[in-house]
């Protein structure tokens, strides 16, 4: 047997892996039974640990091959078929099973147990935490998620920011709101970075909770975390949600962008115009548009002009369309529909 990258390969494990890649579960299970019976005859009965170790190599090889092909259900069923033959201290196998179970609808509820075994017998990596998060997010199990995080922190320490951010992304995609908020707590991780704040603010915007988004943005500044271009875009979106209620915040956030060394872009200017229009600040919106027209890298596009036309009077809308056409941008049905509504 020759170790390679922490994995032991033998002719038997290679043969099992090759068969697993073909996707025929019944043939794979039969081959595992045959290989185990052969080892059982070869290894003295008194050497139970040696037999468990050899069986573990075979099963891990089969499960790894199944996971690599995303035959996740097969991976779990291989383990179920052979679990009585192997020891429980195979960390690599538990890591593979966390991946398989977390990403398999049929077996997702088992991922937490597999992760607990991994915590007990091996070192957990970032991918393991992200995978098991998918399990709890799918089931919206906040209590179980907290218990898992507590066990993890007690053994491995606080989550690093990259792991927390990846896990928060999983929760956002699954609509697991409570789990996402839980992960944002400093109880489980280091000080938030710009990506953490962006994920949290984006969540609040999606929930149309502009006040919470702005509060998070203020916390970001108080923590001396430099906002990114994405940060300001998200906050501008939140300000636009509130319209007239938030003129001051809208102006403050845009001024922050202008004064910072962050690169300016058309999208942020257009979002700012959208907020101004919704707040009824039509003259200010017109000033911003003129500034964009005079700045080549910010030149307004069809989306910018559509934003300017929406919600204004027919007369003002016609003027914007004239400017649009003079800038060489053709009007589409969206623009004309907004114009007719004016």
Predicted confidence at residue 58, as pLDDT, reads 92
Torsional class of 180: left (φ above 0), alpha (ψ -120 to 50), beta (otherwise):
alpha
Predicted confidence at residue 42, as pLDDT, reads 80
Predicted confidence at residue 62, as pLDDT, reads 95
Predicted confidence at residue 3, as pLDDT, reads 35
Kindly report, residue by residue over 94-137, the tens digit of the pLDDT: 999 999 999 998 898 899 999 999 999 888 999 999 999 999 99
Q: Counting beta carbons within 10 angstroms of the beta carbon of residue 134, is it exposed (0 to 12), middle (13 to 18) or buried (19 or more)?
A: buried
The CA–CA distances, whole Å, from 226 to 219, 232, 236, 288, 337 equal 11, 11, 16, 25, 40
Kindly report, residue by residue over 218-253, the tens digit of the pLDDT: 899 899 998 888 888 888 888 777 655 667 777 777
Among 139, 174, 173, 145, which residue's Cα sits nearest to residue 159? 145
What is the value of pTM for the model shown? 0.78
Among 62, 67, 79, 55, which residue's Cα sits nearest to residue 15? 62
Q: Boundaries of CATH 1.25.40 in the chain? A: 88-190
Kindly report, residue by residue over 8-43, the tens digit of the pLDDT: 557 788 889 998 999 999 999 999 999 998 888 887
Kindly report, residue by residue over 325-341, the tens digit of the pLDDT: 888 888 888 877 777 77
Which class in CATH covers the domain with range 88-190? Answer: mainly alpha
Mean pLDDT over the full length of the chain:
87
The CA–CA distances, whole Å, from 260 to 195, 255, 257, 290 equal 18, 8, 5, 21
Say whether pLDDT at 2 is over 60: no
Torsional class of 5: left (φ above 0), alpha (ψ -120 to 50), beta (otherwise):
left
């Amino acid at each position: 047997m020759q170790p390679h990258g922490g994995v032991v390969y033998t002719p038997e494990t290679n043969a099992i892996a090759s068969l697993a890649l073909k996707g025929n579960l019944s043939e794979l299970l039969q081959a595992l039974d045959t290989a185990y019976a052969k080892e059982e005859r070869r290894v003295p009965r008194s050497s139970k640990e040696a037999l468990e170790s050899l069986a573990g190599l075979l099963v891990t090889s089969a499960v790894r091959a199944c996971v690599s092909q995303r035959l996740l259900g097969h991976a779990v069923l291989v383990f179920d078929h052979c679990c009585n033959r192997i020891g429980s201290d195979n960390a690599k196998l538990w890591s593979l099973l966390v991946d398989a179970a977390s990403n398999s609808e049929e077996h997702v509820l088992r991922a937490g147990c597999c992760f607990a075994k991994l915590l007990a017998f091996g070192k957990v990596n970032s991918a393991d935490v992200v995978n098991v998060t998918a399990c709890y997010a799918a089931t919206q199990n906040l209590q179980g998620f907290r218990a898992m995080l507590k066990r993890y922190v007690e053994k491995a320490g606080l989550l690093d920011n990259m792991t927390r951010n990846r896990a928060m992304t999983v929760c956002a995609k699954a609509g697991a709101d409570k789990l996402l908020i839980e992960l944002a707590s400093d109880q489980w991780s280091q000080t938030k970075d710009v990506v953490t704040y962006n994920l949290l603010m984006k969540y609040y915007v999606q929930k149309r909770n502009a006040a919470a988004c702005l509060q998070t943005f203020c916390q970001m500044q108080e923590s001396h975390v430099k906002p990114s271009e994405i940060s300001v875009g998200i906050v501008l979106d939140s300000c636009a949600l509130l319209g007239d209620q938030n003129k001051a915040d809208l102006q403050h956030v845009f001024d922050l962008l202008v004064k910072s060394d962050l690169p300016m872009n058309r999208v942020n200017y257009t979002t700012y115009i959208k907020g101004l229009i919704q707040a009824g600040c039509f003259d200010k919106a017109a000033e911003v548009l003129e500034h964009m027209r005079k700045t080549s890298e910010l030149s307004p596009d069809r989306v910018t002009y559509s934003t300017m036309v929406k919600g204004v009077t027919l007369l003002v809308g016609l003027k914007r369309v004239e400017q649009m056409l003079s800038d060489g941008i053709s009007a589409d049905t969206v623009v004309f529909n907004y114009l007719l509504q004016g």
